[in-house]
Structures are given as C-alpha cells and as structure tokens.
C-alpha cells in the first residue's frame, strides 16, 4: 500500500500556502480556491480510508462542495458513518496529512496515524462521494478516487448530490438491513422517504398559495425538481416555482441570489422580481441552508431566517409533545450560536420556556449539543439546521398508546416529522417541507409567523484582513481573546448604544472576518457594525 500511495501522490504535490500559513480543517472542512484543492482531496481520500478502517469497515462519505462560497472556490469534507460531520478529534489528522510537505512525509504521517490509532490496514474499506455543480468538482473527485485506488478502498461516486443527500446516503448505507435502517440506499430512496413523511405529516391539511424557491443556481434546483415528481399531486396540493436554477453557467452560482445573499444583504434576490405578498424561500449552493421571506405591495422586505425556523419548530414541537401527552417525558431544547437574534433567544426561553444553549459557529458544534435533548432543535441564523430525535423519544412515540383521536394525531405527526426531518445534518429541502407542514397546520401566512416576536435590528459585515488567524475567540465566539486590546475597544463601542451587542470572529470557510451587531434601531445597529468593523480592520492589518 505504501508504494501505491507514494506513486499516486506524485501526481498531487501539495501547494505551499506561503506566509507560514497552513491548511486547516475549518468550519466545514477544507475550503479555498479550487485550483489548490486536488492534492488536498487526494490526502482527504487517504484519511477517509483510515477512518473507514478505524470504524470497522463502515462506509465514510466525502462531499466536494464550497456551499455558499463563490463559484471559483471549492471544498472537501468528510462525513462519519451515521451521517454526521467528521469527529472533531480527527480534524488534527486531516490537517497533518494535508500539510505534509513531501510524499515521503505524507506516507510517514499516514503510518503514524495508523499505528497511533491501532488501525488494521487490511480491513475492507468503503467511501462514497457526492459533489455540487461547480465545474472544478470532477477533477477533485478524480484526485480522491486515486487515493482510494491506492488504498484498495471500495468507492461509489454518486456525482451530483446536495450535501444533505450525501449525509443521508452514508447513514442509509451503514444501517442497511438492520433495525435502525435509515432508508433505501439510493437518491430515489431519499425522495421516497421525504415524500411519504411529508404526506403523513400534513395529515390532510392544505397548503396556501405558491412557494417560490430560489435555488442559488446550484444543485438544489435539479434535486428539488426531482423531489417534486415523487409527490402524488392528488394527496398534496404543493405548488412550487423553482427559480435561479441555472446550473449550466458556472459563474452564476450564489451570485446575487441564494440564502447567504438574502441573509447578509437583508433583501430578496433582484431576479426574478418578487411578487408582492408571495411566499418565497432561498437555498444556498449545496442546499443545506434555508431562508424564507416576502415583500409587500410597497416592496418592503421581511425575512424569516434560521432563528425564525428554530422558534417556529420549537413552538410546534412544544404543542405536539403536549398534545401527545409526553410533556413530562420528552425534553425539548434549542441550540443557537452567537449570531442568533437576541429577540429569538428571549422568545424561546421566556415565552416558550425552553432551554437555549449557545455554541460556536458550525453545525458540527450545534449537532452534538442538540443530541443531549430528546427533541433537539438547532439552527444557525444563516438558515443551517435541523431537529434531532433521541432514541428514547422515538421509542416513546412508537409505544405510547393514544387515549384519544387528537392524541393519536399528535403522535402520528411527530413520528412523520422524525422521518421528514433529516437527522444527519441541516437540509434545505427537508427543512422547507417542515416549515410548510407547520404553516399549513397553523393556517399561518409568513406575516402571521413573523408576528410571534420582533427581531432586534441587526447587521452582519464581512471584512477582508491581512491575517484573519490573528483573531481568536472565547465564550462561544462572543468575545475576542486575541489580538490583545481588540475586545476592550469593541466593549467600549457597544456601551454607547441601547440594547446593543456585537462580536467579531474569523470565518472558517472564507478568507475574512465577520462582525455581527444588533441594537435598538436599524441605524444604531448599522453604526455599531461599522465601528466594530473598523476596529477589526485596524487590528487585522497591523
Ligand atoms: C458552513 C457551516 C455552517 C457555518 C457557515 C459559515 O456553512 O456548515 O455551520 O455557519 O459555514 O461559517 P463561517 O462563518 O465560519 O464562515 P456552508 O453552508 O457554507 O457549508
């Protein structure tokens, strides 16, 4: 195997980043300009082999995507056997392999990891892979495949997939034929599972009006169109208009459209022009984020982001669990990040009386905390999230004998939702269906939904600095521990505004820092964000 790795590796010399910088496994794997990524993908292939052997021959997933990033970027991340993000303890092995300066050093590190973790390199291993619509994808998958050939790993390339579909397939593969089976091991199996659960969860309710879905000119478009074909129109009246679905012209991916655009610019994509009063939502480039919005007759824009989805889900699950007679048995909790609007946190904790926990950015952090609840709801404000059901919750839903038709309905709907919601990772298609189910049950428009609480005005700014790695955070990213003095200056500015909060952190997916600010009025939130941005610029360019 060693010789095969050495020979194959010669085709993928790693490109030094310069300036003493190292490749890092960031918020969602390795992400950068696509031209640097083939050697990274080759080495990620070696790690996927090691992970599969370490996990006793279970199948490992590799997703090639840069999600919300611009078209010239790409990225690669590893998916663990139950469809979760790579265990964080293993990120250091990914980083060590990718940063090996020579082929010989690479093999040395590969052997060191294998011996440190006592990995049996002779075990059968299997990796499955998917990619988004970026033109750089096939070359990167070829690099991954070369590493898998060198390590005798069985490999299935599923081609175009949304990120959550790959997560689904990994879990379905590893649970096939056992009592925990997650679904059929095929893309169609994913659609069948969602379509069936959607109809059960609707329980005869009607959807009001057309939903326009902006797919960011990414993979979500062809996959959503495919999903809709699995919905029997006689059982559900779901009218969807798919827009921004151009996957032929690479440059338009995430350009002036998509969930990240809508969330950061706080406006609807300019094209197609939104129909006043119409219900719209946006996916991101790999269809794992979702944001809802509408514009009124005066073209005023209102947005329902990840915090809104999470509070809507918390409200609905709270009432279903109560209706199912399981209020004292099942613990519901919500997980957010520092970006969550303060009004959403107050609504969930004070009005819904549910516990809220704050973690650092990245679904890998939120997911694990949500697993501590029976029903763990986690969403980042950017629209990335899902709802997790514990094994105890599933068994209570299956074994509770209903005492009334209403209680039976609640139990049936909860079980249907546990199938509808992707249990592995945030999934824009599945989350969109969840929102549609809730709105249909409550007979709510988007403006009814928005009335549950009033968001504090907020602003998110992206700042390019000389060295973003100078910025280190603490307290779930709410404070900067480095560079020294920066946090004091931020605190000083925050003090000058009413009901204000602000923080800064280095992005783990882009070469930039992000600043978030909220305050009592829009102009104050804008002003505070600008002031903090200037502090970050000054410290980051020293
Ligand atoms: C990824 C992560 C998200 C995270 C986002 C932004 O999303 O999966 O959890 O919120 O990056 O992270 P950062 O602020 O560190 O750049 P996606 O949709 O790009 O995969």
Res 233 pLDDT > 90: no
Pairing of strands 73-79, 30-33: antiparallel
Q: Closest residue (by CA) to atom 1 of ligand 1?
A: 28
Q: What is the mean pLDDT of the segment spanning 128-145?
A: 98
> How many Å apart are CA 277 and CA 52, to the nearest integer?
50
Q: What is the mean pLDDT of the segment spanning 283-297?
A: 97
Q: What is the mean pLDDT of the chain?
A: 96
SS3 category, 384: strand
Q: Closest residue (by CA) to atom 5 of ligand 1?
A: 362
Judge whether 286 is annotated as a binding position: yes
> How many Å apart are CA 99 and CA 140, to the nearest integer?
17
Instruction: Kindly give the number of the ligand 1 atom that is closest to the alpha carbon of 506.
Output: 15
Numbered ranges of CATH 3.30.310.50 in the chain: 458-540
> How far is the centre of ligand 1, averaged over its atoms, from the C-alpha of 508 (Å)?
7
Instruction: Kindly give the number of the ligand 1 atom that is closest to the alpha carbon of 337.
Output: 10
345 exposure class (CB count in 10 Å sphere: 0-12, 13-18, 19+): middle
Instruction: Kindly give the number of the ligand 1 atom that is closest to the alpha carbon of 509.
Output: 16
Q: What confidence tens digit (pLDDT) does each residue in 374-395 have?
A: 999 999 999 999 999 999 999 9
Q: Does residue 67 carry a catalytic annotation?
A: yes
Find the residues whose C-beta lies inside 6 A of ligand 1: 27-28, 67-68, 284, 288-289, 361-363, 380, 382, 384, 507-510, 514
Q: What is the pLDDT of residue 510?
A: 87
Q: What confidence tens digit (pLDDT) does each residue in 247-275 have?
A: 999 999 999 999 999 999 999 999 998 89
Confidence tier at 20 by pLDDT (50, 70, 90): confident
Encode 517-528: b = buried (16+ Cβ within 10 Å), e = exposed: bbbeeeebbbbb
Q: What is the mean pLDDT of the segment spanning 122-150?
A: 98
Q: Closest residue (by CA) to atom 20 of ligand 1?
A: 67
Instruction: Kindly give the number of the ligand 1 atom that is closest to the alpha carbon of 362.
Output: 9
Q: How far is CA 162 from the centre of its chain?
A: 11
Among the ranges given (289-293, 295-299, 349-353), the one the predictor scored with the smallest mean pLDDT: 295-299
Pairing of strands 126-131, 59-64: parallel
Q: What is the mean pLDDT of the segment spanning 115-131?
A: 98
Q: What is the mean pLDDT of the segment spanning 330-336?
A: 98
> How far is the centre of ligand 1, averaged over its atoms, from the C-alpha of 265 (Å)?
16
Residue in 336, 366, 384 to alter for ligand 1 test, most ligand atoms within 8 A of Cβ: 384
> How many Å apart are CA 452 and CA 432, to the nearest integer?
19
Q: What is the pLDDT of residue 114?
A: 98
Confidence tier at 21 by pLDDT (50, 70, 90): confident
Q: What is the pLDDT of residue 19?
A: 79
> How far is the centre of ligand 1, averaged over its atoms, from the C-alpha of 120 (Å)?
34
Confidence tier at 325 by pLDDT (50, 70, 90): very high
Q: Closest residue (by CA) to atom 4 of ligand 1?
A: 362
> How many Å apart are CA 356 and CA 105, to the nearest integer?
45
Q: What is the mean pLDDT of the segment spanning 276-284?
A: 96
> How far is the centre of ligand 1, averaged over its atoms, from the C-alpha of 296 (Å)?
30
- Residue 303 tokens read as 């947005």
Q: What is the mean pLDDT of the segment spanning 31-36?
A: 96
Domain 458-540 CATH (choose: 1.10.3720.10, 3.30.310.50, 3.20.20.30, 3.40.640.10): 3.30.310.50
Q: What is the mean pLDDT of the segment spanning 14-22?
A: 88
Q: Which of 9, 67, 430, 502 is catalytic?
A: 67
| Spatial contact of 378 and 260, defined as CB atoms under 8 Å apart | no
Q: What is the pLDDT of residue 124?
A: 98
Judge whether 57 is annotated as a binding position: no
Instruction: Kindly give the number of the ligand 1 atom that is closest to the alpha carbon of 259.
Output: 18
Among the ranges given (20-29, 315-324, 430-439), the one the predictor scored with the smallest mean pLDDT: 20-29
Q: What is the mean pLDDT of the segment spanning 292-296?
A: 96
> How far is the centre of ligand 1, averaged over its atoms, from the C-alpha of 486 (Å)?
24
Numbered ranges of CATH 3.40.120.10 in the chain: 2-160
> How many Å apart are CA 509 and CA 506, to the nearest integer?
9
Query: SS in 3 state form for 67-106?
Result: CCCCCCEEEEEEECCCCCECCHHHHHHHHHHHCCCCHHHH
Percent of the chain with pLDDT over 90: 95
Q: What is the pLDDT of residue 542?
A: 80
Q: What is the pLDDT of residue 214?
A: 98
Confidence tier at 101 by pLDDT (50, 70, 90): very high
Judge whether 501 is annotated as a binding position: no
Among the ranges given (17-26, 120-129, 222-231), the one the predictor scored with the smallest mean pLDDT: 17-26
In 151-295, where does DSSP find H-type helix?
163-175, 187-202, 220-229, 258-265
> How many Å apart are CA 516 and CA 478, to the nearest integer?
10
Cα-Cα-Cα-Cα dihedral sign, residues 217, 218, 222, 228: negative
| Spatial contact of 52 and 394, defined as CB atoms under 8 Å apart | no
> How far is the centre of ligand 1, averaged over its atoms, from the C-alpha of 277 (Å)?
30
Pairing of strands 290-295, 301-304: antiparallel
Which superfamily does 2-160 belong to?
Alpha-D-Glucose-1,6-Bisphosphate, subunit A, domain 3 (3.40.120.10)
Q: What confidence tens digit (pLDDT) does each residue in 445-458 have?
A: 999 999 999 999 99
Under DSSP, the state recorded for 272 is S
| Spatial contact of 200 and 193, defined as CB atoms under 8 Å apart | no
**Distance set, CA 487 to CA 65, 471, 477, 525, 540 (Å):** 34, 10, 12, 18, 13
């Amino acid at each position: 195997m060693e010789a095969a790795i050495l020979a194959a590796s010669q085709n993928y010399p790693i490109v030094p980043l310069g300036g003493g910088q190292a490749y890092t496994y960031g918020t969602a794997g390795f992400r950068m300009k696509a031209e640097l990524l083939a050697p990274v993908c080759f080495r990620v292939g070696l790690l996927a082999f090691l992970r599969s052997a370490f996990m006793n021959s279970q199948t490992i997933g590799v997703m090639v995507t840069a999600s919300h990033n611009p078209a010239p970027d790409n990225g690669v991340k590893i998916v663990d056997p139950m469809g979760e993000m790579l265990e964080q303890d293993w990120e250091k092995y990914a980083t060590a392999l990718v940063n090996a300066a020579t082929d010989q050093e690479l093999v040395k590190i590969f052997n060191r990891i294998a011996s440190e973790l006592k990995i049996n390199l002779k075990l059968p291993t299997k990796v499955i892979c998917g990619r988004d619509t970026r033109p750089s994808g096939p070359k990167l998958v070829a690099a991954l495949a070369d590493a898998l050939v060198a390590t005798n790993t069985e490999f299935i390339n599923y081609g175009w997939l949304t990120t959550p579909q790959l997560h689904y397939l990994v879990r379905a593969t590893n649970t096939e034929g056992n009592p925990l089976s997650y679904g059929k091991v095929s893309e169609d199996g994913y659609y069948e599972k969602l379509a069936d659960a959607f109809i059960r969860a609707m329980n005869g309710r009607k959807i009001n009006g057309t939903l326009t879905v902006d797919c960011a000119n990414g993979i979500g478009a062809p996959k959503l169109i495919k999903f809709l074909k699995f919905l029997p129109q006689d059982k559900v009246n779901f009218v969807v208009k798919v827009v921004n679905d151009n996957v032929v012209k690479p440059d338009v991916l995430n350009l002036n459209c998509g969930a990240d655009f809508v969330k950061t610019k706080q406006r609807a994509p300019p094209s197609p022009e939104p129909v006043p009063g119409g219900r719209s939502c946006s996916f991101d480039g790999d269809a794992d984020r979702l944001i809802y919005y509408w514009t009124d007759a005066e073209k005023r824009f209102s947005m329902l982001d990840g915090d809104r989805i999470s509070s809507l889900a918390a409200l609905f699950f709270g009432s279903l669990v109560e209706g199912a007679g399981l209020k004292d048995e099942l613990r519901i909790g919500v997980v957010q990040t520092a970006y969550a609007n303060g009004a959403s946190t107050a609504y969930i904790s004070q009005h819904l009386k549910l516990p809220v926990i704050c973690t650092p950015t990245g679904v890998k952090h939120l997911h694990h905390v949500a697993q501590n609840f029976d029903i763990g709801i986690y969403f980042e404000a950017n629209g990335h999230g899902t709802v997790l059901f514990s094994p105890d919750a599933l068994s209570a839903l299956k074994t509770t004998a209903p005492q009334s038709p209403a209680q039976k309905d609640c139990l049936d709907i909860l079980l249907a939702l546990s199938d509808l919601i992707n249990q592995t990772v945030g999934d824009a298609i599945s989350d969109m269906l969840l929102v549609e189910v809730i709105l249909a049950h409550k007979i709510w428009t988007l403006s009814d939904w928005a009335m549950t609480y009033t968001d504090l005005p907020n602003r998110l700014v992206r700042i390019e600095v000389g060295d973003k790695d100078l910025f280190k955070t603490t307290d779930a990213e709410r404070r900067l521990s480095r560079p020294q003095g920066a946090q004091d200056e931020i605190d000083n500015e925050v003090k000058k505004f009413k009901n204000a909060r602000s923080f800064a952190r280095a992005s783990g997916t882009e070469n930039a820092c992000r600043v978030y600010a909220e305050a009592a009025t829009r102009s104050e939130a804008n002003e505070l964000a600008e002031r903090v941005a200037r502090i970050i610029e000054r410290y980051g360019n020293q």
